[in-house]
Structure 1
Amino acid sequence: MIQLIASDLDGTILQNDAQAVSPRMIELIMELKQKGIRFVAASGRQYSNLRRLFEPIKDEISYIAENGSLCIHKGQVLSRGIIERELGLEILDSVKEYGKCDCFLSCESGGYMDSGNPEFIRHMTEVVKFDIRQVDSLKDIHEPFLKIAACSFSGTRDMAPFFKERFRGRINVVTSGNLWVDFIAPGANKGTALSNLLAHLDIQAKDCIAFGDQYNDVEMLQLAGASYAMSNAAPGIAYYSTYVTDSVEEVLEDLAASVGK
């Protein structure tokens, strides 16, 4: 019996660069909760940003933020993945060396950037609307690093192989959406975060459904008893999934209609 749904946001629930969750999706999540099925927003986005996206029901769902580096249920942090500081500083240097991208640093208190690129600043503050502070240098931040993210408006095709080769075996380097390469602590991913949440809620993985579209979703898709890759997912993602769908909303509509019959 399905007891929990975990879904990615960008490219999954949020299609075609959408920056708002549809009213019907909000209704479906609450309808399913009333039928005993919980919902988890699982994203590379910040916790505060996810709460903004789900504002009408922000206290009714659980969160896997920062690509699994932070798992929160009812305001309680169940798990966090911290990047070792010296490695984090090396990554920041490497991003500067690569040069064809901008950098965003996530900490539990919020996010930081030191970019002077107007396009990146506008994207972060006006499009995705992250909780973000401008600083002179990210290396001056002394809070624990949850995630470091490199953004290229040219896409990840060249950037991802560069960083994956540079840091192979030392840290998780994953593509997140079409613009981002994320660095997250070893052992931190959406799958481990979901596993921690399921254990806390005493729910078995076989009773979970997951949705995703990128390689940062793979561990979560593999863990869930049933999983859906989006039809426009990155090449190869369907291999890790049980099904393929055009719409999370359509699957949840069918689930809501069938539960309790």
Structure 2
Amino acid sequence: MARLAAFDMDGTLLMPDHRLGDQTLATLKRLRERDITLAFATGRHALEMRQLLGNLALDAYLITGNGTRIHTLEGDVLHEQDLAPAVAEAVLHGEWETTASVHVFNDRGWFTDKPLPWLLVAHGMSGFSYQIADLQRLPSDEVTKICFVGEHADLERLRLQLSEALGDSAHLCFSAFECLEVLPPGCNKGAALRVLSSHLGLTLAECMAFGDAMNDHEMLSLVGHGLIMGNAMPQLISALPHLQVIGHCQTQAVSHYLSHWLDHSDLPYSPE
């Protein structure tokens, strides 16, 4: 049986309105009662996730910023990784053919250069918000990641530009159709989960994980039991055809799957 369960947030644990359903919360608490360790693996900021954990009265390890930070149950930093200053400078000062908005993350928060109130809908449960700043004046030696938000086709073109310019000095991934992230090389949820499982004295084979986007690829492929959401990016399903696809986040499919796993693990599972 899995001893650690890792969950992506948006599109996986959270419903389309970015809210955690009551059934899902109850199931997470059942896991803790069975002494199964919880880890939330997300692109969201650690500041936001610590607030959410407090609101939900859950104890869980945090993998945030898509692997740039790992926090213990007590909130201590277990692992951290930033973009190289030269890479951050190149991305922020480069001239890219894109209409996407730019977002910079560091330990102090989330920064962008123009108001984009529609983005805050995803953070209604926490109230977490961006800060307006001159991005080119932010210190480049403390940037954890940079995100571009826009239309998918535009971001695909941008990904090619960034890949050619940055080479292997950064890891590029889609955390959603409309979000392309620039991360430190080798930085992803899977690598972070490897660090966390080792810290806990576990193997990745003893972990289960749930996800829906390409930033979940490494995590899902490394654990002993990876599950893909029915609403996942088609690219993820194609990349990991051997993994089981469960239901949609709208119907709290993670809870549905885990309830079956806890109560009827000897029987085959079928999505609702």
Deviations 1:81-114 (A, max 9, x none): 11111210111123x5334011111111212112
Moved more, 159-168 or 64-73: 159-168
CA distance in 2, matches of 1:154, 1:208: 32
| 1:19-69 Cα distance to aligned partner (Å, 9 max, x none) | 211122111111111101111111111112223444444550111100111
SS at the partner of 1:60?
coil
Match of 1:166 in 2: 165
Aligned partners of 1:106 and 1:147 also within 8 Å? yes
Alpha-carbon separation, structure 2, partners of 1:43 and 1:58: 18
Mapping of residues 37-48 of structure 1, within 5 Å: 37-48=36-47
SS at match of 2:142: coil
The aligned counterpart of 2:12 is: 12
Bigger mean CA deviation after superposition, 55-64 or 195-204:
55-64
Partners of 1:59 and 1:28 lie apart in 2 by 11
Task: Confirm or deny that 1:249 pairs with 2:246.
Answer: no
Offset at 1:251?
Answer: 1.1
Tell me, in whole angstroms, the C-alpha distance in 1 between the residues paired with 2:59 and 2:22: 15
Same amino acid, percent of matched pairs:
24
Q: Does 1:214 align with 2:213?
A: yes
Instruction: Tell me what 2:268 maps to.
Output: none
| TM-score w.r.t. length of structure 1 | 0.88
Query: Is 1:151–1:181's contact at 8 Å kept on the other side of the alignment?
Result: yes
Question: CA contact under 8 A between 2:96 and 2:161: conserved in structure 1?
Answer: no
Q: Kindly tell me: are residues 225 and 127 of structure 1, through their superposed partners in 2, closer, same or farther at Cα, counting changes over 3 Å? A: closer
2:250 alignment partner in structure 1: none
Q: Which residue of 2 aligns with 1:132?
A: 130
CA shift in 2, pair 1:245/1:65, >3 Å: same
* 1:111-160: CA deviation from partner (whole Å, max 9, x where unpaired): 2112x2x4xx2034454343422112343335511111111145634333
Partner residue, 2:33: 34
What is the DSSP-based 3-state SS (H/G/I as helix, E as strand, rest coil) of the residue aligned with 1:67?
helix
Match for residue 123 of structure 1? 118
Worse-superposed segment, 206-215 or 152-161: 152-161
Instruction: Provide the C-alpha distance between the structure 2 equivalents of 1:84 and 1:64, rounded to a whole number of angstroms.
Output: 20
Equivalent in the alignment of 1:204 = 203
Instruction: Please list every run of 5 or more consecutive structure 2 residues that lacks an aligned counterpart in the other structure.
Output: 248-252, 266-272
The equivalent residue for 2:269 is: none
Structure-2 residue corresponding to 1:90: 90
Unaligned runs of 5+ in 1: none
Give me the whole-angstrom Cα distance separating, in 1, the residues matched to 2:213 and 2:202.
Answer: 25
- Checking the alignment, whether the CA contact within 8 Å between 1:150 and 1:182 is kept in structure 2 is yes
For 1:11, what is the secondary structure of its paired residue?
Answer: helix
The question of whether the paired residues in 2 share the 8 Å contact of 1:51 and 1:58 is answered with: no
Does the aligned pair in 2 maintain the 1:21–1:53 contact within 8 Å? no
For 1:58 and 1:68, the matched residues in 2 are separated by 23
Q: Which moved more, 1:133-142 or 1:1-10?
A: 133-142
- Contact 1:147-1:183 at 8 Å conserved across structures: yes
Distance 1:217 1:126, change over 3 A: closer
The number of aligned residues is 253
Return the alpha-carbon distance in structure 1 between the equivalents of residues 120 and 19 of structure 2.
15
Counterpart contact for 2:169–2:185, Cα < 8 Å: yes
Gap change, CA 1:170 and 1:54, over 3 Å in 2: same
- 2:87–2:166: 8 Å Cα contact kept in structure 1? no
Deviations 1:176-229 (A, max 9, x none): 112111011012110111011101111121111111112111110111101011
